[in-house]
């Protein structure tokens, strides 16, 4: 199948790599050639790692299946995955450019309503959420999100395609944060509130969740990994859209975002990192 992935950042590059790994021809698009060169370098480095680990056999052949082009409208695909930045106005503009009404169009959004975005897609019946996790080549889950108009055939095809990519798809409805971020953000928020209340320090809270609950990362470590700004934005979406007090962004988190303590990417968040 020919697949167009729009947005060649962290997620788009990984998603393009997954489709190519499983034999699909991929067009990966972004706004500039220099960004696409970076995507290509990241994909090839990742393919090299996968082949060293024996997960894939012929990295060069996988790499050859990906074509990089800033103009995705020059190609017609059966399947599109939109993975541009988490801004409704940018996503709607990109979706509007896709003209094939028979193609399935999936968005990788983590917090925007699928039903809202579907109004900009060529065919709302064939528009769906396909929420991959970072890094897409490693993480097994795909949260498949049906919008108000998504038809049964599209849901079935996306569930099947997800399985064919070696993933486990789970279907959810179009609710703020779906399941993954709704449950995860409640956990991270409670960890931050516990820190604010001085019940324990960051290392203590994370150690309790790692050793006591068998979580691979503590919630504060995870917030630093995701990016405290991203966590803050998602909490705001959940709080505004659902109205539950339990999603109110903690002031400590807000202040950390204002101070640029965004976590790993800035070298400091709940912990300090070597940059
Ligand atoms: P990113 O910032 O790494 O990549 C976004 C890419 O979109 C950039 O390369 C940017 O140049 C490109 N872009 C912006 N405007 C564009 C346009 N008009 N046309 C084509 N490309 C354009 O962001 P990331 O992390 O890859 O996120 C992408 C999407 O995936 C977002 O919707 C995000 O919520 C979602 N997501 C992110 C996860 C993560 O852990 N980073 C996990 C799951 C979903």
Q: What is the CATH number of the domain that holds 201?
A: 1.10.1040.10
Residue 100, CA distances (Å) to 41, 76, 93, 147, 260 in order: 30, 7, 15, 19, 42
End-to-end CA distance of the chain: 40
60: number of Cβ within 10 Å: 10
Known binding-site residues for NAD(+) equal 7-12, 30, 86, 91, 110, 134, 265
140-150 average pLDDT score: 98
| 192-214 pLDDT per residue, tens | 999 999 999 999 999 999 999 99
Residue 275 scores a pLDDT above 90 = no
Q: Are 35 and 63 in the same domain?
A: yes
Strand ranges (DSSP E) for 147-275? Answer: 168-173
Instruction: Decide if pLDDT at 270 tops 90.
Output: yes
Cis peptide before 171, with omega less than 30 degrees from 0?
no
- The yes-or-no verdict on residue 185 having pLDDT over 90 is yes
**Would you state the pLDDT for residue 215?**
97
**CA atoms in the 13 A half-sphere facing the CB of 146:** 18
| Per-residue model confidence (pLDDT) at position 147 | 97
Is residue 140's pLDDT more than 90? yes
Place of tokens 């300090």: 272
Q: 67 with 109, same domain?
A: yes
Q: What is the mean pLDDT of residues 256-266?
A: 96
Domain that holds residue 91: 2-173
Number of domains into which the chain is organized: 2
Q: How far apart are CA 142 and CA 159, in angstroms?
A: 9
17 pLDDT above the threshold of 80: yes
Last residue of a domain, one of 173, 194, 221: 173
Q: Rounded mean pLDDT of the chain? A: 96
Asked if residue 187 and residue 167 are part of one domain, the reply reads no
Is the pLDDT at 66 greater than 80, yes or no? yes
- Of all protein residues, the one whose alpha carbon is nearest to atom 40 of ligand 1 is 134
ipTM: 0.98
Among residues 17, 82, 143, 268, the one annotated as catalytic is 143
Q: Is residue 274 included in any domain, yes or no?
A: no
């Amino acid at each position: 199948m020919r697949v167009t992935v729009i947005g060649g950042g962290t997620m788009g590059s990984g998603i393009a790599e997954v489709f190519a790994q499983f034999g699909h021809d991929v067009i990966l698009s972004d706004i500039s050639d220099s960004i696409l060169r970076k995507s290509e370098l990241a994909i090839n480095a990742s393919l090299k790692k996968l082949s060293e680990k024996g997960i894939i056999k012929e990295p060069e052949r996988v790499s050859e299946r990906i074509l990089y082009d800033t103009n995705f409208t020059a190609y017609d695909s059966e399947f599109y995955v939109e993975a541009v930045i988490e801004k409704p106005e940018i996503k709607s503009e990109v979706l509007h450019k896709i003209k094939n009404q028979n193609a399935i169009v999936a968005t990788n959004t983590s917090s925007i309503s699928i039903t809202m975005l579907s109004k900009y897609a060529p065919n709302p019946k064939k528009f769906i959420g396909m929420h991959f996790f970072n890094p897409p080549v490693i993480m097994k889950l795909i949260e498949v999100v049906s919008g108000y108009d998504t038809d049964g055939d599209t849901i079935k095809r996306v569930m099947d395609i997800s399985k064919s990519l070696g993933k486990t798809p789970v279907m959810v409805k179009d609710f703020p944060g779906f399941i993954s971020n709704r449950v995860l953000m409640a956990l991270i928020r409670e960890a931050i509130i516990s820190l604010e209340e001085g019940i324990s320090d960051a290392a203590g809270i994370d150690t309790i969740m790692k050793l006591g609950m068998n979580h691979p990362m503590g919630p504060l470590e995870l917030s630093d990994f995701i990016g405290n700004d991203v966590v803050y934005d998602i909490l705001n979406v959940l709080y505004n859209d659902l109205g539950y007090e339990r999603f109110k962004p903690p002031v400590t988190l807000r202040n950390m975002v204002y101070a640029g303590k965004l976590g790993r990417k800035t070298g400091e968040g709940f912990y300090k990192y070597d940059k």
